[in-house]
Structure 1
Amino acid sequence: DDQYQLIADYLNAGKPVMGFRTATHAFTGKGATGDFRWGQFGLKILGETWISHHGRHKGQGTRAVLEPQNANHPVLNGVGDIFGPTDVYGIRNLDPAKSTILFRGAVTATLDEDSPAIEGPKNDPMMPLAWFRTYTAPNGTSEGQAFCTTLGASVDMLDKDLRRLFVNTAYHLTGLKTNKAADVQFVDHFQPTFYGFNNVKGYYRKRNLRISDFKLGSNASTGLANPKSAPAWRPMLPF
């Protein structure tokens, strides 16, 4: 309860929130602060909870398609084409009338960045992919601004235009002007491992990782093998 209260205090102050991918289902269980149930964090704060893998998980990717009426939004300053080797999430509860949708997600045939969007009902209509909305805080009265995207797995971060969207959003939500020349390069070597559950018994106990293992220059990855459907990730260096 004390840990939940720290988050509640932040939200009750109306401070900005950025949610990436699985943030829509960040909490489980029956935890609550007053009448606010933390299992509904995604729904109440970000505008959506876990619904489904709309695209085929670990088989189909996501291409961001600009929502035309919001093409001049300041967070899109300098942002080009975005592709993520993660599947599009199903969206059912987000209210378009109370949200500013920046992108919709086109389901692509494979996880390759050059893969075309598939034809058929999966992409008609396309699911919202990134949006802003006003949230009501756990105290029931305060309001704040939230950004959410169902992109955001580690492998998605290889896309520089997605990183620019995140940097621009951080500027925008804190009252700063976006800069299309902002540096969005990595500050260290970055070679993400593929997303998914690690069910190897005792794996992390054997790794015995410590905070110091994640300092700059360490590249402490989980070391899991990529599935056959995954492209060969190219290590990203800070230059």
Structure 2
Amino acid sequence: MQHNLFNNPFNLIGLRILLFTTAFLGSMQLSCSQQSAQWVSYEGKQGSGEGKHIVLVSGDEEYRSEEALPMLARILSEHHGFKTTVLFALDPKSGEIDPENQTNIPGLEHLESADLMVLFTRFRELPDEQMKYIDAYTKAGKPIVAMRTSTHAFNYSRNKQSPYAKYSFNSKEEGWEGGYGKQVFGETWVAHHGHHGKEGTRGLINGLVQDHPILKGVQDIWGPTDVYTIADLPEDAEVLLYGQSTKGMNDKAPLSYDKAVMPVAWTRNYTSASGKQARVFNTTMGAAVDLQSEDLRRMMVNACYWAMGMEADVPEESNVNIVGEYQPTMFGFGDHKTGVRPADYAME
């Protein structure tokens, strides 16, 4: 007698369960694959950072944070042992990196396991289900390293009823005047002090704090982005680096002595809603082209150590050699590389 699998109803039920399970697991794998393609992670090699996780959040229209942060993440992982995860502003339809999309940075849930957040965003208005992770991280009193436009990281113009609208750079809400940048980092967006697109920034180390661990091995910093105006830092801010405008956008350009110096890198302790004090480092430098400066990269790496309370582990001269290719795009609106996905930044 010939047996047919389909003649037995119990076999048929089992087959259906098997097919359903296979399809379900397949869809789960596809979902996970699609999700992981929305960011890029680098496992840490040997180094003092073993066991620590740094999440780097990019998203600005002008200074190419989407190029700067993967490069910085590779240095932190390859040379210093930190696990790093880089998040991007994405076009939700194509999955491509789109820094002009102000309302979508997938993967912010990684902040739940982060020991440090490196923030480089500009005028973002993230949906509440994404922004809640930055909010929770900040309230927990965990350390932050902020770069360039993060003084004006958020701008809520679409949903002013959001509980996070108080983080807008121009907020007037009591207790949150000046928004996230002012209250957490010490300053919000004020103005260009240097002549934007025509003058660069020469870093001048504050000799009164030259032994600070963030400045270890740092001597020569120059970048083509201009100096930002800093109007009123809080009393607890400690300026590490001042910026002098240069009459030109190359490292040989003479200093512009007709303009006052401005703070371009400082530290402070931010007291969170939980009452915990968080170490914060902020620099108004850090565009992708700025980070061609070896000592600026060194300051950024040292700042990550310091923010996590690892200043004793800062090397005498941090290894900041670039891992792989790095040919950053010049800053400017509408000039970002198109057709790029997070996976394109993965290490081979």
1:10-89 aligned within 5 A: 10-29=137-156, 30=160, 32-33=162-163, 37-39=166-168, 40-89=179-228
Give the 3-state SS of the residue equivalent to 2:241 in structure 1. Answer: strand
**Percent of aligned pairs with the same residue?**
38
2:331 equivalent in structure 1: 195
Q: Equivalent of 1:129, from 258, 261, 264?
A: 264
C-alpha distance 64-12 of structure 1, shift in aligned 2 (>3 A):
same
1:185 equivalent in structure 2: 321
1:157 equivalent in structure 2: 291
Give the 3-state SS of the residue equivalent to 2:150 in structure 1. Answer: helix
C-alpha distance 77-45 of structure 1, shift in aligned 2 (>3 A):
same
In 1, distance between residues paired with 2:232 and 2:279? 18
Question: What is the TM-score when the length of structure 2 is the normalising length?
Answer: 0.56
1:105-162, Cα deviation, whole Å (9 max, x unpaired): 0000001101121122x12xx111100011132x363331110000010000100000
1:13-62, Cα deviation, whole Å (9 max, x unpaired): 2111000000111111136547x711111111111111111100110000
The question of whether the paired residues in 2 share the 8 Å contact of 1:31 and 1:38 is answered with: no
The question of whether the paired residues in 2 share the 8 Å contact of 1:63 and 1:83 is answered with: yes
Stretches of 4+ aligned residues off by more than 4 angstroms: none
2:342 is equivalent to residue 211 of structure 1: yes
In 1, distance between residues paired with 2:265 and 2:227? 11
1:228-239 aligned within 5 A: none
In 1, distance between residues paired with 2:339 and 2:347? 18
Q: What is the RMSD of the two structures over their aligned residues, measured on CA atoms?
A: 1.9
2:130 equivalent in structure 1: 3
Question: What is the TM-score when the length of structure 1 is the normalising length?
Answer: 0.80
In 2, distance between residues paired with 1:210 and 1:172? 31
Higher RCO structure (Cα 8 Å, ≥6 apart): 1
Offset at residue 74 of structure 1 (A): 1.3
1:53-110, Cα deviation, whole Å (9 max, x unpaired): 1100110000011112111111111111100110000111212x31110011000000
Structure 2 unmatched ranges of 5 or more:
1-127, 169-178
2:241 is equivalent to residue 103 of structure 1: yes
Structure 1 unmatched ranges of 5 or more:
218-239
Give the 3-state SS of the residue equivalent to 1:63 in structure 2. Answer: strand
Work out which of the two has the higher radius of gyration on C-alpha atoms and give 1 or 2.
2
